[in-house]
């Protein structure tokens, strides 16, 4: 529809009809069941109000969308199609690795491909908008929603967030296989105090601009059409009612002119925050903050028309409705309200992409010559994750754990001499099954112990104070290590865990996180050596919960602990634990050995107009084709505000056959060394910088000094 025609649609709407476009409901309002992702509030609507609503969230299949859309259009005076939205976080029906796992691939092309095929499948089921990607900067795995994040590094998050947006939206939003991306949660949700979901957030504007905004900027530059507000407060005001923050930062600094939607019931929750006395005050705060869509509360539906009339906000209402109508038009809904329905993606295409993503996301943390497993070996597979389909992780949309292949099934195909002994999810049957386990462990060449979090132990409303395995799982590992010296832990989780109780009892450790529908097949391929590990941690594993929040990007202090003064008093350290992570950001092993040679830095000076280059030759000295992640870090020696001791500058992925070598070149521009100053502007300083070429954020192979 052309702009003039769309303007005519807007002008033809009554006040109540305009308000309706800003109201989002679930399928339950149309007598159809939907996916519930928040508390249901008491809310009744008249038929007229129901058929003025602008959007629906939580449908689960194409037939449901078709029925609701047809019902709505038959009743609606202006036939403005409904928008259908869903949490397509890591797949729709075919489930891919959770974002935190996928981030461990460090692979922008892979992330974009996963988002593209996820969009195709969801669009075929009638979805128009996905509440993804999550751009929250995170450094506290006690917060369950780190599962949806891209990890602890802002640069990695920026690049992967943009890749998600490009994948979901494709080259043309009118393409019926595309989804509009809603980037979330603006802003600071990942900094909830104590890692407790929905909790207060308190950080400086400098920290917000330095760490928390870049991924949102990246998503919007990639074209994201919607932004979702966070549940938390910043500057003392909950985001959904924070007019100054949204206007200054989102609308002005980030120049966002698209649809801003609240999270589930967030406008109503302004009352619980005690910044609004009633629904009218809550609706007023949110509307003046330019929140365009009220997700699952009656605040706008009941109060907004009165607010607009009393406060003469007709122009602001038209602007909000215009943003919603524009989104519907960009999606092509006026031409075809049933866009994409039933255009299903081939199952083989989905499964192949999910398998590749799973293989590239798993991280090998430890291998003392116990992997890969050999086909002629006697393998014992034991643990709480052996026979379950609970391998998808939270936010798995309509993925079905009952249809997910178990580890036992996939491993039986891969390893003919496999013995599987599954335990209950809580390992409550460990004592009962111990005699059988003991006998099998003594007879086995190697023992694979599959344990970890249940799918609902991570994600929203899944905060924890303890990040350790269940006591029975720890007992299982420790007891088995006394019977067999070749124990491998496959430890599932939606977040980094504290593994200090078991790390010395295992000769091999794999962190798959949650890898999705193809988990079992991917792990069978990896453990057998048919495929090599290439994942590198996007978020480090802490030694103890007392370190949290933690990031490898720790700031310089006046009393830093160094190798020279390690263990002394009156330093920024702990009496009872090391400062760093057990397994740091960027860490991961592979079966192959990778040699870095001929590392050289170009001799020309680095200026604001001329880059420099760092070159090296990488050789695969292993016995199989594999991928290496070459990581480049930097340190700003002197800055106008405190800066991290080390931070990621760039990385490159290279896939090489056995014996193959390749020259790698990093081109370093001055703007890559920029940071946010006290005036909240981002630019580089002149001065000295250290460049660090490394295997991960801790294992540095070569360092260079450069001057800008």
CA–CA separation, 616 vs 606, rounded Å? 19
Please give the span between the terminal C-alpha atoms of the chain, in angstroms, as a whole number: 51
Q: How open is the CA angle 583-584-588, to the nearest 5 degrees? A: 70
Q: What dihedral angle (degrees, nearest 10) is formed by the CA atoms of 314, 318, 319, 325?
A: 160
Please write the tens of the pLDDT for every residue from 72-82: 999 999 999 99
Residue 653, strand partner residues:
629
Residue 632, strand partner residues:
650, 693
Q: Which helix (DSSP H) or strand (DSSP E) does residue 601 occupy?
A: strand 594-601
Residue 293, strand partner residues:
261
CA–CA separation, 26 vs 43, rounded Å? 11
pLDDT at position 41: 62
Q: Which helix (DSSP H) or strand (DSSP E) does residue 234 occupy?
A: strand 233-234
Q: Which helix (DSSP H) or strand (DSSP E) does residue 617 occupy?
A: strand 612-620
- Please, what's the largest Cα pairwise distance for the chain? 80
CA–CA separation, 307 vs 458, rounded Å? 40
Mean pLDDT estimate for the chain = 97
pLDDT at position 250: 99
pLDDT at position 31: 80
- Give the start-to-end residue ranges of the domains of the chain: 3-330, 355-545, 592-707
Give me 198's structure tokens: 């929905």
Judge if 3-330 and 355-545 fold alike in CATH terms.
no
CA 646 to chain CA mean position, Å: 23
Low-confidence ranges of the chain (pLDDT < 50): none
CA–CA separation, 44 vs 50, rounded Å? 9
Q: Are 110 and 150 in contact (CB under 8 A)?
A: no
Q: Are 189 and 145 in contact (CB under 8 A)?
A: yes
589: preceding bond cis by omega (within 30 degrees): no
CA–CA separation, 397 vs 92, rounded Å? 5
263 is catalytic: yes
Nearest partner of 330 among 222, 251, 258, judged by Cα: 258
549: preceding bond cis by omega (within 30 degrees): yes
CATH number for the domain running over 355-545:
3.40.50.1700
pLDDT at position 32: 61
Selecting among 136, 197, 263, 390, the annotated active-site residue is: 263
Q: Are 365 and 511 in contact (CB under 8 A)?
A: yes
Instruction: Please classify residue 682 by burial: count the beta carbons closer than 10 Å to its beta carbon, then call 0-12 exposed, 13-18 middle and 19+ buried.
Output: middle
Residue 651, strand partner residues:
631
Q: Which helix (DSSP H) or strand (DSSP E) does residue 489 occupy?
A: strand 487-492
Please write the tens of the pLDDT for every residue from 178-195: 999 999 999 999 999 999
Residue 374, SS3 per DSSP: coil
CA–CA separation, 115 vs 274, rounded Å? 39
pLDDT at position 404: 96
Which superfamily, per CATH, for 592-707? Immunoglobulins (2.60.40.10)
Residue 366, SS3 per DSSP: strand
Residue 22, strand partner residues:
none
pLDDT at position 37: 61
- Which of the four CATH numbers 1.10.579.10, 2.40.50.100, 3.20.20.300, 3.40.50.150 does domain 3-330 have? 3.20.20.300
Name the phi and psi angles at 164, rounded to 5.
-60, -50
């Amino acid at each position: 529809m052309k702009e003039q025609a769309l303007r005519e649609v807007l002008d033809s709407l009554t006040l109540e009809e305009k308000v309706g476009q800003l109201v989002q409901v679930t399928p339950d309002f149309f007598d159809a069941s939907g996916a519930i992702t928040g508390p249901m509030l008491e809310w009744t609507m008249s038929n007229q109000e129901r058929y003025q609503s602008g959007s629906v969230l939580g449908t689960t299949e194409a037939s449901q969308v078709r029925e609701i859309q047809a019902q709505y259009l038959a009743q609606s005076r202006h036939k403005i199609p409904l928008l259908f939205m869903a949490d397509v976080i890591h797949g729709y029906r075919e489930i891919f690795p959770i974002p935190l796992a996928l981030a461990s691939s460090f692979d922008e092309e892979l992330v974009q491909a996963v988002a593209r095929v996820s969009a195709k499948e969801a669009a075929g089921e009638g979805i128009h908008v996905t509440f993804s990607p999550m751009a929250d900067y995170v450094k506290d795995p006690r917060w369950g929603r780190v599962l949806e994040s891209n990890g602890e590094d802002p640069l990695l998050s920026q690049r992967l967030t943009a890749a998600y947006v490009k994948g979901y939206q494709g080259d043309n939003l009118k393409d019926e296989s595309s989804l509009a991306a809603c980037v979330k949660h603006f802003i600071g949700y990942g900094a909830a105090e104590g890692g407790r979901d929905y909790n207060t957030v308190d950080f400086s504007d400098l920290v917000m601009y330095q760490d928390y905004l870049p991924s949102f900027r990246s998503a919007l530059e990639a074209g994201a059409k919607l932004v979702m507000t966070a549940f938390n407060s910043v500057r003392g005001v909950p985001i959904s009612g924070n007019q100054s923050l949204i206007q200054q930062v989102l609308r002005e600094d980030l120049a966002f002119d698209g649809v801003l939607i609240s999270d589930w019931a967030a406008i109503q929750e302004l009352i619980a925050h005690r910044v609004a006395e009633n629904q009218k005050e809550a609706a007023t705060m949110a509307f003046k903050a330019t929140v365009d869509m009220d997700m699952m509360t009656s605040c706008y539906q009941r109060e907004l028309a009165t607010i607009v009339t009393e406060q003469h906000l007709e122009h602001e209402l038209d602007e909000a409705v215009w943003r919603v109508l524009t989104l519907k038009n960009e999606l092509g809904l006026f031409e075809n309200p049933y866009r994409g329905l039933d255009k299903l993606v081939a199952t083989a295409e989905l499964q192949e992409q999910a398998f590749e993503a799973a293989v590239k996301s798993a991280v090998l943390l430890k291998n003392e010559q116990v992997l890969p497993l050999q086909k002629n070996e006697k393998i014992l597979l034991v643990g709480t994750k052996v026979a379950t389909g609970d391998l998808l992780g939270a936010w798995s949309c309509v993925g079905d754990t009952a249809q997910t292949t178990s580890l036992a099934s996939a491993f039986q195909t891969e390893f003919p001499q496999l013995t599987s002994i599954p335990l209950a999810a809580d390992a409550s049957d460990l004592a009962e099954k111990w005699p059988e386990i003991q006998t099998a462990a003594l007879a086995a060449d190697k023992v694979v112990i599959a344990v970890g979090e249940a799918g609902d132990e991570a994600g929203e409303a899944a905060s924890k104070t303890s990040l350790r395995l269940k006591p029975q799982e720890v007992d299982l590992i420790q007891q088995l290590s006394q019977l067999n010296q070749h124990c491998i832990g496959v430890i599932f989780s939606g977040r980094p865990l504290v593994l200090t109780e078991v790390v010395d009892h295992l000769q091999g450790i794999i962190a798959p996180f949650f890898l999705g529908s193809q988990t079992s097949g991917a792990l069978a391929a990896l453990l057998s050596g048919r495929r090599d590990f290439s994942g590198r941690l996007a978020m480090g594993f802490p030694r103890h919960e007392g370190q949290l929040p933690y990031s490898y990007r720790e700031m310089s202090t006046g009393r830093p602990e160094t190798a020279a003064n390690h263990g002394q008093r009156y330093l920024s350290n702990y009496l009872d634990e090391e400062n760093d992570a057990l397994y740091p950001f960027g860490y991961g092993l592979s079966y192959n050995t990778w040699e870095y040679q001929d590392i050289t830095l170009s001799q020309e000076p680095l200026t604001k107009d001329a880059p420099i280059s760092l070159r090296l030759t990488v050789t695969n000295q292993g016995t199989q084709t594999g991928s290496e992640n070459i990581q480049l870090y930097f340190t700003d020696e002197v800055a106008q505000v405190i800066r991290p001791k080390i931070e990621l500058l760039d990385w490159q992925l290279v896939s090489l056959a056995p014996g193959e070598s390749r020259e790698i070149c990093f081109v370093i521009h001055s703007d890559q060394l920029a940071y946010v100053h006290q005036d909240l502007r981002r630019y580089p300083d002149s001065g000295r910088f250290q460049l660090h070429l490394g295997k991960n954020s801790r294992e540095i192979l070569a360092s260079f000094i450069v001057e800008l």
